[in-house]
Structure formats: structure tokens, C-alpha cells
Amino acid sequence: MTDSYTHIDLTAKDPLGDLRSKMAAGGILRAFVVETLKGDNREHLLAFLKERDPRFRLAFCYRPESPGAAKQFMTDPWVAALRINTAQLEEDTAWLAGLEASGKYLLIHAESGIARLVRNARAAVAAHPRLRIYVPHLGWPRNEGKDDPAWRDSVRALHAIPTAIIGISSLLTFSRQPFPHPDVHPFAQELIRLFGPERLVAGSDFPFIEKARYGEYVAVAHRWIRDIWPQWVDYAGVFGKKPPVP
């Protein structure tokens, strides 16, 4: 299995070793590891980057004050995406030309609302038609426990962007019920049917889940996709069309 969205547990004595251990216990062969917006795990991700371990791909936050680092990440094969928040797409986006040319993903959350994200993403793609976009966490269907009324129309508008993929991840964040969070399943099913097997990835959002269930969270997301699309390939997207050799 591939975990196509995880952080690392900074409360662990050895965060990188902890992630490797949990992956091994959960039968997870590959992981896409993401920098947090506040950057508290950046040092550890840079350590991952130096290791050049084919089991990992990384996402670093784009920080306008560090354009040199952004350019370096765009050319590094172990970096699969640059992460931003929605508001950054309303600022200077000239740097997106370099990201478009690199073929890497623009990783963007919908914590400010999926409608705002899609509006900004459509403008970005109008200017950069080959820009690849990855929206994780089910497109954020609930905010503070309340369903987002704009979610359904917005994910359809996102689907209309042919270079966009979506992630089935962070199930706990949007659930009002215990694991395996059946109340989130209908959101996932709608996205899975809409986006099809070529535009879906699955992840955990570790450690913002029940940590002891790390492998189970990844397995549930995978199972939900394969229940609808048995032919789905779990390493597509951030790992490309062929799996890296462990």
C-alpha cells in the first residue's frame, strides 16, 4: 500500500524512525510526507530528502521569502509537490510557471472552503493549463462538524479541471462517528465515483488520526476506492505511474 498523505509525529523520540516503524507494521511500502504550514517538521523532511530513499516522496511549503529553495525543490526528483494555502493563490503567482514546467503538483487544502479553493485554482489553471493540482482530505466536506453546503458543486467544478486529483484522507477530521468513520463514507463514495481511478490517491493524515490505527486508516481509504474501482493503482499520482523500487 501507499500512504499518499502523511506528516510525521513530532512527539516521537525519533520521528523518522517512528514513521518507518508504523509503515512496516501497517504493510505500507511508500509514503508521501508533507511539510506542515507552520514548518515545524521541515527539518525532518530535509533529512528525508538527503537520504534519497525511494520509498518516500516529499512536499514542502512554498514560502515567498525563500524563492531559491522553491526552485531547488522544483528540480528535485524526491519532491513531488509544493504546498500552499488557499490565500496564497490570491497573491503573486508568477512562480507557478516554474511549478507547471516541473510537472510537480500544487498541493492545496480547502480549510478556507472548497468554493474559494476551486475559484482560485481555476484562475491558476487558466493561466497555467498544465499545472497539476492535488486537493487532499476529501476536499474538506465539513468545517467544525457542519457540512459545507458548497462542497458538492465545488468538487464537480474541481473535477472539471483535468489536471486535478483528489485525496481520500483525514477521515477522522470530518467524522462524527468512531473508526472507521462510516458517516464520512458517502462523501468519499461521491468523490471516488466522480474522479475515477486515474485521479484518486489515498492517505492517512498521520499523526492527526488515531495513531495506533495508522495502517488501518490507509487500508480503509484504499478499500473504499477499490470497492468502486477494483482496477485502481495505489501508487498513481504523487509516485507516478510506476512504483519506486524499495
CB contact at 8 A, 210 and 172: yes
Q: Note the CATH number of domain 2-228.
A: 3.20.20.140
Please report the pLDDT score of residue 236 as a whole number: 83
Q: Is the pTM of this model over 0.75?
A: yes
Instruction: Select from 51, 41, 10, 4 the least CA-distant residue to 23.
Output: 4
Please report the pLDDT score of residue 107 as a whole number: 97
Domain locations along the chain: 2-228
The tens digit of pLDDT for each residue in 114-151 reads 999 999 999 999 999 999 999 999 999 998 888 999 99
Helix ranges (DSSP H) in the chain: 15-26, 42-51, 67-75, 96-102, 114-127, 151-159, 185-195, 214-228
Q: Pairing between strand 146-147 and 142-143?
A: antiparallel
Please report the pLDDT score of residue 244 as a whole number: 65
For the chain, which ranges sit under pLDDT 50? Answer: none
Distance CA 61, CA 80 (A): 12
Please report the pLDDT score of residue 246 as a whole number: 54
